[in-house]
Amino acid sequence: MNHTFEPAKDLRRRSLHEELTQTLRDLIIHGALAPGIKVPEKDLCETYSVSRTPLREALKVLASEGLVILEPNRGARVSVITQSDLDEVFPVMGALEALAGELACKNITDAEVSHVRSLHEAMLKHYRSGNLDEYFVVNQMIHEAILSAARNMTLTMHYRALSARVQRARYVANITADRWAQAVEEHEDITRYLAARDGKHLAATLRNHLENKLLSVSRYLDEQATSNPEV
């Protein structure tokens, strides 16, 4: 039996879909598409020169990640960050981060440890210069490097399903100087325990790192609720 395949076309379509999904994900994470607003499908299609079909495919993925809500016959709306949502997501993400740390300590190579150290030094430079956006970018690269070193695709799949919601919560909250300094100290410990292949202490530090992020974002939501009681 003869089959005809068009791999190049399929790959191009897949690449467009993935690129568009990541672009929209970044817009939501960084707040360019604010919580609660209706997704401007027409404007996005014009801006990125795509049709409604790939855009709606991307929105379905983002809905599965909890970033948007699909409303029948009304399009999509960016989901609102709530305390109850954070209370569900952060403990699970903390457990996944802890497991990634334990597995990474068993499997990481010397070259990967050196890479994480380099990322950590780059992150410190952004911290010292007060460049929060670039700090967050490198910070996430460190967590991704640890996840990669864990060598567990099932863990990676579940981690990625929740990662965007955690990143988004972190970006919307105004990080204080004290919390930023505390986070840097936690990353110093993360790098040290990873280099020592100390899975027990790395797991505990990563879990605590997420718990402190949750406290920071929760305080921000409380302040917003107090200053905007009608919302």
pLDDT tens across 43-88, in order?
999 999 999 999 999 999 999 999 999 999 889 999 999 999 999 9
Q: Which of 2, 166, 35 is nearest to 95 (CA)?
A: 166
Strand partners, 38: 77
Q: What is the pLDDT along the chain (231 residues), one digit of tens a residue?
A: 444 434 444 435 567 889 999 999 999 999 999 999 999 999 999 999 999 999 999 999 999 999 999 999 889 999 999 999 999 999 999 999 999 999 999 999 999 999 999 999 999 999 999 999 999 999 999 999 999 999 999 999 999 999 999 999 988 887 899 999 999 999 999 999 999 999 999 999 999 999 999 999 999 999 888 877 654
pLDDT at 11: 39
- Do 137 and 121 meet the contact criterion of CB atoms below 8 Å apart? no
DSSP E strands: which ranges in 9-64? none
Q: For the domain 83-227, what is the CATH superfamily, name and number? A: GntR ligand-binding domain-like (1.20.120.530)
Torsion-angle region of 121 (φ positive above 0: left; ψ -120 to 50: alpha; else: beta): alpha
| Residue 116: other Cβ atoms inside 10 A | 22
- Distance of alpha carbon 103 from alpha carbon 148, whole angstroms: 10
pLDDT at 224: 85
Does domain 7-78 bear CATH number 1.10.3720.10? Answer: no
Six token digits for residue 137: 């970018």
Length of the chain measured in residues = 231
Which are the contacts of 177, defined by CB distance < 8 A and separation ≥ 6? none
Query: Which of helix, strand or coil describes residue 70?
Result: strand
What ranges in 74-131 are assigned the alpha helix state H?
Answer: 83-107, 110-129
- Distance of alpha carbon 108 from alpha carbon 194, whole angstroms: 9
pLDDT at 162: 95
pLDDT at 12: 53
Q: Where are the domains of the chain?
A: 7-78, 83-227
